[in-house]
Chain A
Amino acid sequence: MERVGVFICHCGSNIGAVVDCARVAEAVRNYPGVAYSTDYKYMCSEPGQEMIQNAIKEHNLNRVVVASCSPRMHEKTFRACVEKVGMNPYMFEMANIREHCSWVHAGKNEEATEKAIDLVKMAVSKVCKNEVLQKGHAPVTKRALVVGGGIAGIQCALDIANNGYQVDILERTPSIGGKMSQIDKTFPTIDCSACILTPKMVEASSHPNIKLITFAELEKVEGYVGNFDVTIRSKARSVDMSKCTGCGTCMTKCPGKADDEFNMKLRKRTAIYTPFPQAIPNKPVIDRESCLKFKSRKEGKDVCGICAKMCPAGAIDYEQEDELFVEKYGAIVMATGYEQFDHSVYGEYGYGKYPDVISGLHFERLVNASGPTQGHIVRPSDHKEPKTVVMVKCVGSRDPEHGKSYCSRTCCMYTAKQATMIRDHCPDTKVYVFYMDVRTPGKLYDEFYNRTREEYGVDYIRGRVSKIYQEGEQLIVKGEDTLLGQQVEIAADLVILANAMIPNPDSEKMAQTVGIGYDKDGWFTESHPKLGPVETHTAGVFLAGACQGPKDIPDSVAQAGAAAVKVCALLSKDQLETEPTVSVVDTKLCSGCGLCVPVCPYKAITLETIQERKGGKTVERQVANVNSSLCQGCGACTVTCRSGSANLKHFTNAQILAEVDALCQTMQ
């Protein structure tokens, strides 16, 4: 027997000045299910809440409706209020007669009162069909996975580890370090990137709470917040990590050669290699594409094997294979970083064919003391020092037609940094920068930009470059100085393009694997652009660094710390409360057609086989099953379900129909 208590709030004059609250309370007093009805000045105040609690006890109420403000405001308050006197918090409903009524119908007191009565009747009809629901509990695996071992991933892992939790870093390449390890200097302080990064890498590798899983890929993510089962593919390294001492002898005589990706293909590396001297782990891998042994094996032969002969530890293992293993984690941080936009889409810049038109990252390797030119700034084509350098900003950025529509945020500053570095290294070299805007919103950023022009004498020209072409040994850069309103042509020896930052090419696939959202460009989407910048829509999965959108190092590090805090807050719990307002399948009604399975954004629905007695024998059949820990309660499945066997708790078909009927009945 439903015994509903109805409490109409005046909210001072907010509601009371428009809605005749006493009349509303009176109008529903005899409505089916209502056992008690009253109005009061401030329901959310302490006396107001006490009033509700007393009424529950006095009138033996088993359901409560409060008509007041938006449930987005005080639903939690009133749920707690009724729970205190032993009522299940889900036996409570709210009618919004402030935001949806008194505030928007000022002066129309009669109609607003009628509307309030309707809204209360709808709430009463619904609450009569409410069911007792209990929050669920799920255990938490106290270990985190950080996907990506760049600066964001390293920082995040360190912060989690220093809070006392276990954390694994999953890195796709043979070494952690990421893009920051390729960069020579960092703006605006011009300190050496490796000098500040390497200690962090060492700290991560030696931290007792951190495990590095390098040269490995994320294969599959199952489970839910607190309980992820992650399948990891450890790629065949061809080197036994337990035996290898990292002496490097194997690399000295390797005859296999390949483009050195770390050095932007500006030189060659051996087939057995570590990406860079400070790599961690500093143990090599064999690149099977360029290894003579593996190449010959494809042709049915088996040659070379020099590295195995050289290795004093006997660590070379040509027979290694990829290995899949499953690990349990309570939280996942995505820190997969970015890639550099490929400027070869621009025909007007030579389709990437001119060797002396290079990208910003190329330049970082050129100017790096351990890079292919030992830090001498020379042209890739003839190794001569350039006397005139043109830098072009926004290549691929802010270009919806040929590149990306967004601003890559970092290019203004790294271009300024590189310009000053050229002027430092080659004082006789003239540097021009073509720009559209200079965006320097960071600490000491604008000061740095101004120094670039004022102290370093770099000429900034406002305008996009229309064409770059080779003429003899030089590159002619055709642009416009829009401030002068004149065309300008510059004969350059070297052109450096400030290429956009783009997500990893497989970021969309990765997002689907993990079950998080991504935007049109492939960046992972945060749960709220303002208030949830490191969370995703999937509980337990967080974001750090440039995988979410272009970011520089300080921003990446800051976000990594923020993600770490969220992870720690999660891992600090022994159990997680789960909302009970989830979908549930009535297996008696379900035909097992499976139409609901693909619509679930959380992969919460699976078909499972049940046994039942039918015609005197036990038969098996498939029915849909909702994992209540994964389900977030959207209700998409309920509409797909023809038989109505999938239903959403607290928003059941019967509840919604009751509300519809309650509203329509008032029209008779």
Chain B
Amino acid sequence: MDYAYYPGCSLESTGIEFHASTKAVAKELGINLIEIPDWNCCGASSAHARGHWISLALPARNMAIAEAAGLDVAIPCAACYARSKKVELEVTESEEAKEKIEEIIGRPYTGKSKARNLTEILHNDLGVDAIKAKVVKPLKGLKVLTYYGCLMSRPPEIACDDIEDPIMLDDIMTALGAEVLQWGFKTECCGGSLTACRPQVGLDMTKKIMDAAKKSGADCIVTACPMCHSNLDMRQDQLSKKYGAYNIPVYFVTEMMGVAMGMNPKDLCINRHFVEAESTLGKIGKTSEGGEA
């Protein structure tokens, strides 16, 4: 299984764990990720606030490079996925848009090369059974909440899963042996894009989600979006200072897969989280009676 790989800017910095764990897990599962040479920022967060064509042109270049190589693009980051998918749909649906975009980027891009969310590849292309087959250390006893955020589930034309009740992460986590709890915040926006400029607004949005997580009694949250991850993970100390302790580790789904496949947490960069994330892994395999605090 060969895919062009577009990590995107976040995975080189704040989402480094996602990058590391994706690469490790892909290797183990026989997914060959070929990083797009000299890729550029997809413009997520800002380009669409500036103009229609700029928001399409930036991701189009990466997609065009992949298309020249004849590969679909695996994109772990939900924001990059949404932006890349948008341009793919735009050129497939409108000949006029295709021509304009090709003119702007100076490369052919016909939409033949598809933008694929990494989670979708894991869930649909590879399949839950194939993942299950690689599990050596089932995540028994771990109560997890799956969190998809907005960019994986909306708008509907972009979504690769059910828009109101997505299940891909649930399926994968169940396959890993974890207990998936249900809550109402799977697709609620965490405000990640607002933390930078309107911190209080972002913080409030994060708080709602973390409050619900706390109430649910889950051990941790599992996500597939680096923006959500950095937001939920990093801002917990701020929340804790203001509103009392939270301390709920937030993992990338690939980190969890790596752990279940018996990899060293450090190789997956689990030691680089803001909320201490290694000790929670200690609950794995223990019966929940002792674990309940």
**Bind each other:** yes
Interface positions of A (Cβ within 8 A of B): 346-348, 350-351, 467, 469-472, 476
Q: Residue B267 at the A interface, CB < 8 A?
A: no
Q: A-B pairs with the 8 shortest C-beta distances?
A: A347-B164, A469-B184, A348-B164, A347-B165, A471-B184, A351-B165, A476-B184, A347-B163
Contacts of B165 in A (CB 8 A): 347, 350-351
Check A467–B215 contact: CB distance below 8 A: no
18 contacts across the A-B interface (CB closer than 8 A): A346-B164, A347-B162, A347-B163, A347-B164, A347-B165, A350-B165, A351-B164, A351-B165, A467-B184, A469-B183, A469-B184, A470-B184, A471-B183, A471-B184, A471-B212, A471-B215, A472-B215, A476-B184
Question: For chain B, what secondary structure do more than half of its interface residues adopt (helix, strand, loop), or is it mixed?
Answer: loop
Please give the distance in Å from A79's CB to the nearest CB on chain B: 59
Interface positions of B (Cβ within 8 A of A): 162-165, 182-185, 212, 215
Given A346-B164, A469-B183, A470-B184, 5 more A-B residue pairs with CB atoms under 8 Å apart are A351-B164, A469-B185, A471-B183, A472-B215, A476-B184
Bound-complex Cα distance A137 to B171 (A):
71
Bound-complex Cα distance A346 to B165 (A):
10
Contacts of B162 in A (CB 8 A): 347
Please give the distance in Å from B281's CB to the nearest CB on chain A: 27
Closest to A351 in B: B165
Bound-complex Cα distance A470 to B215 (A):
12
Contacts of B185 in A (CB 8 A): 469
Please give the distance in Å from A353's CB to the nearest CB on chain B: 8
Partner of A470, one of B163, B164, B182: B182
Bound-complex Cα distance A544 to B217 (A):
56
Please give the distance in Å from B175's CB to the nearest CB on chain A: 22
Bound-complex Cα distance A351 to B166 (A):
12
Contacts of A351 in B (CB 8 A): 164-165
Contacts of A476 in B (CB 8 A): 184
Bound-complex Cα distance A412 to B163 (A):
30
Bound-complex Cα distance A350 to B185 (A):
12
Contacts of A469 in B (CB 8 A): 183-185
Please give the distance in Å from B219's CB to the nearest CB on chain A: 18
Contacts of B215 in A (CB 8 A): 471-472
Question: For chain A, what secondary structure do more than half of its interface residues adopt (helix, strand, loop), or is it mixed?
Answer: mixed
Please give the distance in Å from A287's CB to the nearest CB on chain B: 33
Bound-complex Cα distance A346 to B185 (A):
16
Contacts of A350 in B (CB 8 A): 165
Please give the distance in Å from A489's CB to the nearest CB on chain B: 10
Closest to A471 in B: B184
Closest to A472 in B: B215
Please give the distance in Å from B109's CB to the nearest CB on chain A: 31
Closest to A348 in B: B164
Contacts of A471 in B (CB 8 A): 183-184, 212, 215
Closest to A468 in B: B184
Bound-complex Cα distance A346 to B212 (A):
22
Bound-complex Cα distance A357 to B162 (A):
20
Bound-complex Cα distance A472 to B215 (A):
8
Contacts of A470 in B (CB 8 A): 182, 184
Please give the distance in Å from A403's CB to the nearest CB on chain B: 15
Contacts of A472 in B (CB 8 A): 215
Bound-complex Cα distance A472 to B212 (A):
10
Bound-complex Cα distance A348 to B186 (A):
11
Q: Which of B163, B182, B184: most chain A CB closer than 10 A?
A: B184
Contacts of B163 in A (CB 8 A): 347
Closest to B166 in A: A347
Please give the distance in Å from A206's CB to the nearest CB on chain B: 52
Closest to A476 in B: B184
Bound-complex Cα distance A351 to B165 (A):
9
Bound-complex Cα distance A341 to B174 (A):
33
Contacts of A467 in B (CB 8 A): 184
Please give the distance in Å from B178's CB to the nearest CB on chain A: 20
Please give the distance in Å from B236's CB to the nearest CB on chain A: 20
Contacts of B182 in A (CB 8 A): 470
Bound-complex Cα distance A467 to B183 (A):
12
Q: Which of B164, B182, B183, B185: most chain A CB closer than 10 A?
A: B164
Please give the distance in Å from A486's CB to the nearest CB on chain B: 15
Please give the distance in Å from A389's CB to the nearest CB on chain B: 19
Closest to A489 in B: B208
Contacts of B164 in A (CB 8 A): 346-348, 351
Bound-complex Cα distance A48 to B165 (A):
78
Bound-complex Cα distance A346 to B162 (A):
11
Please give the distance in Å from B98's CB to the nearest CB on chain A: 28
Closest to B208 in A: A489
Contacts of A347 in B (CB 8 A): 162-165
Please give the distance in Å from A83's CB to the nearest CB on chain B: 65
Contacts of B184 in A (CB 8 A): 467, 469-471, 476
Bound-complex Cα distance A42 to B164 (A):
72
Please give the distance in Å from A407's CB to the nearest CB on chain B: 25
Please give the distance in Å from B159's CB to the nearest CB on chain A: 11
Closest to A350 in B: B165
Contacts of A348 in B (CB 8 A): 164
Closest to A475 in B: B184
Bound-complex Cα distance A472 to B185 (A):
13
Closest to A349 in B: B164
Contacts of A346 in B (CB 8 A): 164
Contacts of B212 in A (CB 8 A): 471
Bound-complex Cα distance A347 to B215 (A):
22
Bound-complex Cα distance A347 to B156 (A):
12
Please give the distance in Å from A579's CB to the nearest CB on chain B: 52
Please give the distance in Å from A342's CB to the nearest CB on chain B: 16
Bound-complex Cα distance A303 to B120 (A):
50
Please give the distance in Å from B169's CB to the nearest CB on chain A: 16
Bound-complex Cα distance A348 to B184 (A):
9
Please give the distance in Å from B128's CB to the nearest CB on chain A: 21
Please give the distance in Å from B21's CB to the nearest CB on chain A: 30
Bound-complex Cα distance A469 to B212 (A):
11
Closest to A347 in B: B164
Bound-complex Cα distance A100 to B41 (A):
69
Bound-complex Cα distance A347 to B148 (A):
15
Bound-complex Cα distance A348 to B185 (A):
11
Bound-complex Cα distance A348 to B163 (A):
9
Bound-complex Cα distance A65 to B165 (A):
72
Closest to A346 in B: B164
Bound-complex Cα distance A472 to B164 (A):
19
Bound-complex Cα distance A633 to B210 (A):
71
Bound-complex Cα distance A374 to B184 (A):
33
Bound-complex Cα distance A467 to B212 (A):
15
Please give the distance in Å from B204's CB to the nearest CB on chain A: 12
Bound-complex Cα distance A476 to B162 (A):
21
Bound-complex Cα distance A528 to B237 (A):
69
Bound-complex Cα distance A476 to B212 (A):
11
Please give the distance in Å from A344's CB to the nearest CB on chain B: 11
Closest to B186 in A: A469
Q: Which of B165, B185, B215: most chain A CB closer than 10 A?
A: B165
Closest to B153 in A: A347
Bound-complex Cα distance A467 to B165 (A):
12
Q: Which of A351, A469, A472, A476: most chain B CB closer than 10 A?
A: A469
